[in-house]
């Protein structure tokens, strides 16, 4: 059966762990799997800007023996003239999988309903599940077993990253804390889904507007830009509203002494995180950026096996 990754909870705890195991194997031996040898093509579509996602999918698809076809919606028919489902029906005749960075989650769902090939969310307004696979891989490398670790997110609790940390974190059995102002709290339906998963895995999700309480004893400290793509007009208000949730050295000092700092990047130093934290000894952001490659290759290998 065709499987898709549209949001983090599309993967069960066992499936998430299987993909992370495969990512570790592929990081040790980059050429271990060639499911796209032939070569087959994977369409990688961007409605928004990207550095890491574009590079890691292009390199990863080539590593797997395939050929990446990078499409910008600015010069394709998708995004105005043609619906996601019609585009899906055209692409499925020619490509092995579709990777799409877009705005609305509903567009991804329509694309997935319309096609027999796997569809991967390469970031939407609501979720960034590919980033989470890389982040969990990075945390596993630095902290060992994920289950039972405390991950604390600071800032815009409604961002795609916050929603993905909540869902993917509890899927891994982690305790996820989100520190955000009340107006920026994660979506209630995402929290309800996370609580259902946490009841199975032993994880938990806690919302607070007290950054110090969220940081206390944390194993992983994480933030995201205060101004996600598409929110540029709200920049001044967001800087004002989220100012108290910056990750500073003082905040890091409240976390466990062996805590790591992660950030999906790109980062705005001096806003959501101080330079001395992101460029300091507890930061593992460059490992995290590299791990996009290994995690996404593992995801593609796994998805192509399910057909």
Binding residues for carbamoyl phosphate: 50-53, 77, 101, 128-131, 264-265, 292
Kind of pairing between the strands at 67-72 and 97-101? unpaired
Q: Which two tokens stand for residue 254?
A: 């409240």
CA dist., res. 71 & res. 132, Å (int): 23
> Coil, helix or strand for 87?
helix
Compute the distance between CA of residue 227 and CA of residue 221 in angstroms, rounded to an integer: 19
Options 4, 33, 101, 177, the catalytic residue = 101
Among 50, 102, 160, 296, binds ligand CP (CB under 6 A): 50
Q: Is 135 helix (H, G, I), strand (E, B) or coil?
A: helix
Judged by CB under 6 A, the stretch of 78-86, 90-98, 154-162, 202-210 that binds ligand NVA is 154-162
Cβ nearer to ligand NVA, comparing 140 with 163? 163
Binder among 176, 264, 273, 285 for ligand NVA (CB under 6 A):
264
Given the DSSP bridges, would you call strands 119-121 and 175-179 parallel, antiparallel or unpaired?
A: unpaired
Nearer to ligand NVA, 88 or 134 (CB): 134
294 is catalytic: no
Which residues touch 14 (CB under 8 Å, ≥6 apart)?
A: none
> Of 140-148, 223-231, 276-284, 287-295, which part binds ligand NVA (CB under 6 A)?
223-231
What residues numbered 237-266 form the site for ligand CP, per CB under 6 A? Answer: 264-265
Contact range with ligand CP by CB under 6 A, out of 21-29, 49-57, 168-176, 198-206: 49-57
Nearer to ligand NVA, 264 or 304 (CB): 264
Instruction: Find the binding residues for ligand CP in span 123-182 (CB under 6 A).
Output: 123, 131
Cβ of residue 198: shortest distance to ligand CP, in angstroms?
A: 25
Q: Is 138 in the site for ligand NVA (CB under 6 A)?
A: no
225 touches ligand NVA by CB under 6 A: yes
**How far apart are alpha carbons 221 and 56 in whole angstroms?**
24
Query: 5: which DSSP letter?
Result: B
121/131 with CB nearer ligand CP = 131
Token reading at 133 = 């696979």
Pick the closest to residue 223 from 171, 269, 170 (CA basis).
269
Take residue 33 and report the two structure tokens written for it.
């799997």
């Amino acid at each position: 059966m065709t499987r898709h990754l549209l949001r983090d909870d599309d993967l069960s705890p066992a499936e998430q762990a299987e993909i992370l195991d495969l990512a570790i194997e592929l990081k040790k031996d980059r050429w271990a799997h060639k499911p796209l040898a032939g070569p087959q093509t994977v369409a990688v579509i961007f409605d928004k800007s990207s550095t890491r996602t574009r590079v890691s999918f292009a390199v990863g698809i080539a590593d797997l023996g395939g050929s990446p076809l990078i499409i910008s919606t600015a010069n394709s028919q998708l995004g105005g003239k043609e619906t996601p489902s019609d585009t899906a029906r055209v692409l499925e005749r020619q490509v092995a999988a579709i990777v799409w960075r877009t705005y609305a989650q509903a567009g991804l769902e329509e694309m997935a309903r319309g096609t027999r090939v796997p569809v991967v969310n390469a970031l939407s307004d609501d979720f960034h599940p590919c980033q989470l696979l890389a982040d969990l891989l990075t945390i596993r490398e630095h902290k060992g077993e994920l289950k039972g670790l405390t991950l604390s997110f600071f800032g815009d609790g409604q961002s795609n990253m916050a929603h993905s940390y909540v869902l993917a974190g509890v899927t891994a059995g982690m305790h996820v804390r989100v520190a955000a102002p009340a107006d920026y709290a994660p979506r209630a339906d995402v929290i309800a889904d996370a609580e259902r998963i946490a009841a199975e895995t032993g994880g938990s999700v806690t919302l607070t507007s007290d950054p110090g309480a969220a940081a206390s004893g944390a194993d992983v400290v994480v933030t995201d830009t205060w101004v996600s793509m598409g929110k540029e007009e709200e920049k001044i208000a967001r800087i004002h509203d989220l100012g108290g949730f910056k990750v500073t050295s003082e905040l890091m000092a409240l976390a466990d002494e062996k805590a790591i700092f992660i950030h999906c990047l790109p980062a705005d130093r001096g806003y959501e995180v101080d330079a001395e934290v992101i460029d300091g000894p507890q930061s593992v952001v460059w490992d995290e950026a590299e791990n996009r490659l290994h995690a996404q290759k593992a995801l593609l290998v796994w998805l192509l096996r399910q057909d």
